Chains A and B, each alone.
Chain A
Amino acid sequence: MANANPENKNLLTIKDLHTHFFTHEGIVKAVDGVSLEIDKGKTLSIVGESGCGKTMLSLSILRLIPEPPGRIVGGEIIFDGIDILKLSKKELRSIRGNRISMIFQEPMTSLNPVFTIGSQIAEAILLHQKSRASNKKQALQIAAKMLDLVGIARPEKRIHEYPHQMSGGMRQRVMIAMALSCRPDLLIADEPTTALDVTTQAQVLDLIQGLKDELNTSVIFVTHDLGIVGQTCDDVAVMYAGKVVEFAAAKDIFDNPLHPYTKGLMNSVPEPGDSAKNKRLTAIPGTVPGLKDMPQGCRFITRCNAKFDKCEEMPPETTLGNGRKVMCWWYV
């Protein structure tokens, strides 16, 4: 993945990132040596089950890890030439929301219940986009336009409503409108469409795609829906227990998944035409081990159906052709 001219093409580089949580039962390695790169205008998706560190990785990029108990203990995050881990709080504020926006998973808890949604979106616009809106009235107009974009009817009325007056799907769309209103360089979307209907989801995906095309925004999509990954993403990083176990172009990963975990995820999803009558789903047995009681060696060893004696040791990251990386002894 080495770029000839990283200054121009590359937007974000994460090098050997370690985010640990220090609890009284021991150290939890939520992000354990992750290296990733994302180019301008590209979409990277991070997939994996809950508890594998996806959200902690995306929070680390914005340095939003609750501290204590968490701390980024090692590695580098270079965003457009800036080392995010070395920034002061004030410098960080000029990047958060403005150049890197985030859509959180829970729209219910991410909105302030005592302010109207219009004023919450306007606040973000006034703070970060002074060139587009110099007063609250203009900002509210932009807010209404954004709400219209995410498919909320009668936006000029809705901006005066409070979060509790909206349904879950609508609140999620408000969050998306807010994140997009600042035209960020990098958008981190953590399960943004999980709570939405397929039709609304299609619109939101379209909207993010449109933003990408128009502003060359890069997107990090944290999701467990492989359909979304296939449709919208350029690259895929599969995470398991704090590590990226497979990295590849989206097409490659669907055509030919390598890591047993990736294969397991693919097989868990019924394909069109499959029926319970003629095909049993092959589920991955068990659940993600708690980050506190990790097995020795390969993290996936407890659930893997292709393990052999070598797997007692931690597998190294193997680089294959086409920028593809996999962490499994079968490919060493």
Chain B
Amino acid sequence: MITEQLLSIKHLKKSYEISSGLFRSSGIVNAVDGVDLDIFPNETLGLVGESGCGKSTLSRLILLLEKPDSGEIIFSGHDALKASTQELKALRRSMQIIFQDPFGSLNPRQKVLSIIEEPMRIHKTDTKENIRKRAYSLMDMVGLSIQMATRYPHEFSGGQRQRICIARALAINPRLIICDEPVSSLDVSIQAQILNLLTDLKNELGLSYLFISHDLSVVGYLSDRVVVMYRGRFVEIAAAKDIFSSPLHPYTKCLLDAVPTLKNKGKKIEVKPADTAHGMDYGCDFFARCSVSTDPCSQSKPVLEEKRPGHLAACFNKA
């Protein structure tokens, strides 16, 4: 691709120390373990993986809410980790997040209009009147009627609240929006409305999305490219249609097989449970759950390499 990346991540690492409780003995968890990633302007990048694989940590790192142990985050040419406080504030305006739970992410004591205005007030984008005007036009843009401006979040349904969250995220003209499971708490009919809205906004405003979800059909529908994450590493990256039609990594195959569909009626799904597999110091992380593992898999970690044009996978098996 010739277009310049909007966001570029290089060898990003973040580990957490676990001192007590559940895994008293284990010590360190590598939540994000050396990942490289590019997001291009006006691209939707889907990120899938089981809970605990590091998806949320990665999004927190990109939003600069947490400091990585090592690595680089380049946002439209600026090194975000070396930025001064002033520059950081400007960078933060370029990225926003939409959370999974529209019930927990809106202040119950704030009116809708004030919720949508808040990011603009914080970043002092404009005069008071213009901010108000923009808040109204944002409400219109996401399909909320202007009469609702003085209501409180509890008066809205789940889908409408997610629209409020989207309006708030759009308020300061971000270029990248991280969508962390934005539709998984919604009914299917409402989910379709929100997915259509996100598509329209992307086309109209030229946004990029990092779309995190565990619903593979939604990710497949919305994304241009898909990244599959497992235990803090990327195991497969490819165009959405390739991931679904010809997955290369056994983990991706296992995720796809696990999706219930009408076709699979009565079919037993061979998936080894997640907790039984422990991360290994050497060898492939997926070794313990893999059904096609061979000798080299237990010896060293496979690296992400291009198996077909534009289709990367980290697996020793031949494509």
Min CB distance, B217 to chain A, in Å?
A: 5
Q: Which of these, B199, B245, B268, contacts A276 with CB under 8 Å? A: B199
- Taking the closest CB of chain A, its distance from the CB of B36, in whole angstroms, is 25
Whole-angstrom distance between the alpha carbons of A238 and B263 in the complex?
Answer: 20
Q: Are B220 and A275 in contact (CB under 8 A)?
A: yes
B134 CB, nearest partner CB in chain A, Å: 26
Interface flags for B158-194 (1: CB within 8 Å of A; 0: not) read 1110000000000000000000000000011111110
List of B residues within 8 angstroms of A270 by Cβ? 195, 217-218, 220-221
Interface size counted on chain B using CB atoms at 8 A: 51
Task: Decide: A202 and B271 in contact? CB cutoff 8 A.
Answer: yes
Residue picked from B52, B187, B191, B196, most chain A C-beta under 10 Å: B187
**Would you call A199 and B192 a contact (CB within 8 A)?**
no
Interchain CB contact (< 8 A) of A281 among B51, B192, B259: B192
Q: By the criterion CB–CB under 8 Å, are B187 and A49 in contact?
A: yes
Question: Which residue of chain B lies nearest to A268 when distances are taken between CB atoms in the complex?
Answer: B192
- B interface list, Cβ under 8 A from A: 21-22, 44, 50-52, 157-160, 187-193, 195-196, 199, 214, 216-218, 220-222, 240-241, 244-245, 254-255, 257-269, 271, 273-276
Mark A residues whose CB is within 8 Å of B: 49-50, 151-153, 165, 167, 169, 197-203, 205-206, 209, 224-228, 230-232, 250-251, 254, 264-265, 267-276, 280-285, 287
The smallest beta-carbon distance between A108 and chain B, in angstroms, is 12
Closest to B240 in A: A275
- Does the CB pair B217–A269 fall under 8 Å? yes
Q: Contact between A280 and B196 (Cβ–Cβ < 8 Å)?
A: yes
Residues B158 and A50 in contact, CB atoms below 8 Å apart: yes
Q: A199-B254, A199-B273, A228-B260 are in contact. Are A287 and B159 (CB under 8 A)?
A: yes
Could you tell me the distance between the alpha carbons of A200 and B222 in the complex, rounded to whole angstroms? 24
Q: Tell me if A281 and B22 are in contact (CB < 8 A).
A: no
Minimum Cβ distance to chain B for residue A287 (Å): 5
Contact between A165 and B260 (Cβ–Cβ < 8 Å)?
no
Q: Are B240 and A199 in contact (CB under 8 A)?
A: no
CB distance from A209 to the nearest CB of B (A): 8
Query: A169-B51, A227-B260, A274-B220 provided; 9 other pairs, C-beta below 8 A?
Result: A49-B189, A202-B258, A202-B260, A224-B187, A231-B264, A254-B262, A272-B261, A273-B241, A283-B196
Q: For residue A224, which residues in chain B have a CB less than 8 angstroms away from its CB? A: 187-188
Asked if A199 and B189 sit within 8 Å, CB to CB, the answer is no
Out of A205, A264, A275, which one reaches B189, CB within 8 Å?
A: A264
Whole-angstrom distance between the Cβ of A198 and the nearest chain B Cβ = 4
Residues of A with C-beta under 8 A to B275: 151-153
How near does chain A come to B143, taking the closest CB pair, in angstroms? 10
Q: How far is the CB of A305 from chain B (nearest CB, A)?
A: 13
A167 near B217: Cβ-Cβ < 8 Å: no
**B221: A residues at CB distance < 8 A:** 270, 274-276, 281
Q: For B159, list chain A residues within 8 Å (CB).
A: 287
Roughly how many angstroms separate A280 CA and B222 CA in the complex, as a whole number?
10
A251 to B263, CA, bound (A): 10
B260/A199 in contact, CB under 8 A = no
Q: How many angstroms from the CA of A201 to the CA of B264 in the assembled complex?
A: 14
Give the CA-CA distance A310 to B283 in the complex, in Å: 68
Is B217 a contact partner of A199 (Cβ separation < 8 A)? Answer: no
Residue of B nearest to A228 (CB): B260
CA distance A219 to B199 in the complex (A): 38
For B244, the chain A residues whose CB sits under 8 A away are: 272-273
Give 18 A-B contacts (CB < 8 Å), ordered by A residue.
Answer: A49-B187, A50-B158, A151-B273, A198-B50, A198-B258, A199-B254, A199-B258, A206-B268, A209-B266, A225-B188, A227-B217, A230-B263, A250-B262, A269-B217, A270-B217, A274-B220, A283-B189, A284-B192
CB of B179, distance to nearest CB on chain A (Å): 13
In the complex with contacts A151-B273, A165-B21, A275-B220, A283-B260 CB distance below 8 A? no
Which chain A residues lie closer than 8 Å to B241 at the CB level? 273, 275
Known: A272-B244, A273-B244. A202 touches B188 (CB 8 A): no
Report which of B158, B196, B216 forms a contact with A198, defined as CB distance below 8 A: B216
In the docked arrangement, what's the CA distance between A294 and B245, Å?
45
**Contacts of B240 on A, CB cut-off 8 Å?**
275
Q: Is the CB of A199 within 8 A of B271?
A: yes
Contacts of A167 in B (CB 8 A): 51-52
**A50 & B21 in contact (Cβ 8 Å cutoff):** no
Q: How far is the CA of A153 from the CA of B272 in the complex (A)?
A: 12
A82 to B66, CA, bound (A): 59
User: Which residue, B52, B190, B195, B254, has most C-beta atoms of chain A within 10 A?
Assistant: B190
CA distance A238 to B139 in the complex (A): 33
Instruction: Give B265's nearest chain A residue, CB to CB.
Output: A231
Residue in B192, B254, B268, B274 whose CB lies within 8 Å of A200: B274
Q: How many Å from the CB of B224 to the closest CB on chain A?
A: 8
Report the minimum CB–CB distance from A274 to chain B (whole Å): 5
Question: Within the complex, which residue of A227, A276, A281, A282 is in contact with B262, where a contact is CB–CB below 8 Å?
Answer: A227
Q: Contacts A275-B241, A287-B157; is A268 near B191 (CB within 8 Å)?
A: yes
B144 shortest CB reach to chain A, Å: 13
The one of A200, A205, A275 that contacts B273, using a Cβ cutoff of 8 Å:
A200
Contact flag A49-B192 (CB < 8 Å), given A198-B216, A254-B262 = no
CB-based nearest A residue for B44: A276
Assess whether B259 is in contact with A227, with CB atoms less than 8 Å apart. Answer: yes
Which residue among B192, B216, B218, B276 has the maximum number of chain A CB atoms within 10 Å of its CB? B192
Q: In whole angstroms, what is the CA distance A271 to B218 when docked? A: 9
Q: How far is the CA of A275 from the CA of B239 in the complex (A)?
A: 12
Closest to A284 in B: B189
CA distance A231 to B157 in the complex (A): 30
Is the Cβ of A198 less than 8 Å from the Cβ of B273?
no
* Contact between B274 and A232, CB atoms less than 8 A apart: no
Judge whether B193 and A283 touch: CB under 8 Å.
yes
Contacts of A169 in B (CB 8 A): 51
Shortest C-beta distance, B52 to chain A (Å), equals: 8
